[in-house]
Amino acid sequence: MSRELCTLDEFYEELFRRHGDGPAIRFRGEITTYADLDAQSAKLASAFHSLGLNESDRVAILMGNRPEFLLTEIAAARANVTTVPLNNQLSDEECEYILTDSAPDVLVVGPAFFDTVRDLQQRSLDCKHVIGLDSDSSLPIGFHSFEGVLAKAPSGLPVIRSSADDVATIFYTGGTTGEQKGTLHTHESIILNLYSHVYELEVRKGETGLLVTPLSHSAGYFAKTILMQGGTVVLDQKFDPETTLERIETDRISWLYLTPTMIAELLDQSAVADADTGALDTLVYGSAPIPTSRLKEGLDALGSVFVQFYGLTEVPNLVAVLPKSKHSTQNTEWLQSNGIPAQLANITLLDFGNEYDKWGDDIGEVGVQSPYAMTGYTDDDLTAPRSDSKWIRTGDIGRIDDNGRLFVLDRIQNAIVSDDQLVYSTEVESVIQSHPTVREVAVIGVPKRSADSLSDATFHKSEQDVKAVLSIADGELLELDELQEFCRERLDPPAVPDSVDTVGTLPQTPYGKVDKKLLREPYW
């Protein structure tokens, strides 16, 4: 591919030329065609140009899943301005941090966040233009109407000069190990990543894809991948297992992305056994580990539709992939792995260094190279997680077997030292999840001594107790001694939980992962 073609404005021009009047987005019973998306995004791109925006300027997006989210992203690309998508499940404080750090010139905001934005304007937000998705009469003072901006804009595309190396999007990390960081992604890296999505995640032409997770994260890539294949993106603003099952049947969903927790909730629906899921060809999962027992249950219920991906914000979605062909209830070792490197990614194991050397010779921190990796962070003073300026460090402990399979064993900050042995929380969770009364489980390390503090009780400096936090099936009870007996038959002694807490549901981050940072807070 010529680098002159690696710009998103050219990419979308060709996409719209190919797919014409076909249905692009379905939302709340209404259809947005490719022609609609073409015309509206061209006008919004012209509006951005009229507001004086250029390639050095930024447009932030804060709303739930709806067509205007994708419309704004596409319009920004066609105007060659940088988008800053915000997860609609973030707290007000997290939104404030991202908006302060990214300093957008324009903020496009949904009605659910009007009050949040007004509060931020009074405290710290300095944004030239705020565009709200509502009628003029319902907008806060000083907000522009989205429809009004479109109505006043010229119909033709603005004349721009874009480059493959221009920054197209800033994605913010989840902040599980500290402050959220803005990662810079160029036109070229995004286009290469989208083509990789088609290949690695088996996106066929004409898919009908259901997306229920925030478009600001992985789902945004999935939506654009489905569009480039001429498919239809079906949007829901949140996940509900009963509604999702109904949509698979009635809307003939052929491609679906769910987090492991969502898959578990879907499988717990009694209606799954009799549901018509024949149209579903691909169910992609990632973002968090999934217990092998649950995965086998899914294969029995839905068939060979599963594809797993492993990635990170710095290298979006596609570091390693476990394809459908390796998903078999008879192939436990493959199901326990994260698959093989994506075709456009290299994976290695990096030395931990210093205190970490004693962990073992066969493991290391997973390092990644890829042409669609970020080019850096918004804060030039931040040290990128790189080794020798070649590898991006993931923060994950991993091993690679003789077949080239990657096994992500744990996040570095989630590993536990118990009786002088390294215990992987994910391994303990997989065992406990197989207990028939357990709905969800998270395993964390807690201090052995009350005098331990957060600064010195890290797993490589101090012994920890293993604590299991459980969500139990309705009407069931699981005492510590029973859980310990169950685990002793399946785990080494240091990994057997020392204590157990029971909760209704496990807390999740806005990115669909169990919030272990929050679970640990009371103990440190």
Closest to 496 (Cα-Cα) out of 523, 469, 465: 465
Block residue for tokens 């157990």: 500
Percent of the chain with pLDDT over 70: 92
- Calculate ∠ Cα 64-66-321, nearest 5°: 80
Cα separation, 306 vs 298, in Å, equals 8
Q: Which residues pair with 240 in a beta bridge?
A: none
Read off the amino acid at residue 92.
D
Confidence category of residue 2, pLDDT binned at 50, 70, 90? low
Selected residue with higher pLDDT from 495 and 450: 495
Q: Which residues pair with 449 in a beta bridge?
A: none
CB 399 within 8 A of CB 407: yes
Q: What is the pLDDT of residues 129-162, one digit of tens each?
A: 999 998 767 899 889 999 999 999 988 888 888 9
As a whole number, the mean pLDDT across the chain is 90
CATH fold of 33-188 reads Rossmann fold (3.40.50)
The residues of the chain that CATH labels 3.40.50.12780 are 239-412
SS (H, E, C) 139-199: CCCCCEEHHHHHHHCCCCCCCCCCCCCCEEEEEECCCCCCCCCEEEEEHHHHHHHHHHHHH
Note the CATH architecture for domain 239-412: 3-Layer(aba) Sandwich (3.40)
C-alpha separations of 421 from 444, 459, 465, 493 in Å:
15, 10, 12, 10
CB 349 within 8 A of CB 366: yes
Cα separation, 511 vs 259, in Å, equals 9
Instruction: Give the contacts of 383 (CB within 8 A, at least 6 positions apart).
Output: none
Report the greatest alpha carbon distance in the chain: 71
Cα separation, 146 vs 143, in Å, equals 9
> What is the reported pLDDT for 458?
42
Q: At the top level of CATH, which class does the domain 415-523 belong to? A: alpha beta
Confidence category of residue 359, pLDDT binned at 50, 70, 90? low
> What is the reported pLDDT for 8?
96
Closest to 84 (Cα-Cα) out of 107, 67, 68: 107
Joined together, the tokens standing for residue 147 give 């429809």
The residues of the chain that CATH labels 3.30.300.30 are 415-523
Block residue for tokens 């009963």: 242
CB 287 within 8 A of CB 512: yes
Confidence category of residue 459, pLDDT binned at 50, 70, 90? very low
Confidence category of residue 457, pLDDT binned at 50, 70, 90? very low
Q: What is the pLDDT of residues 309-349, one digit of tens each?
A: 999 999 999 999 999 999 999 988 999 999 999 999 999 99
Q: What is the pLDDT of residues 46-82, one digit of tens each?
A: 999 999 998 889 999 999 999 999 999 999 999 999 9
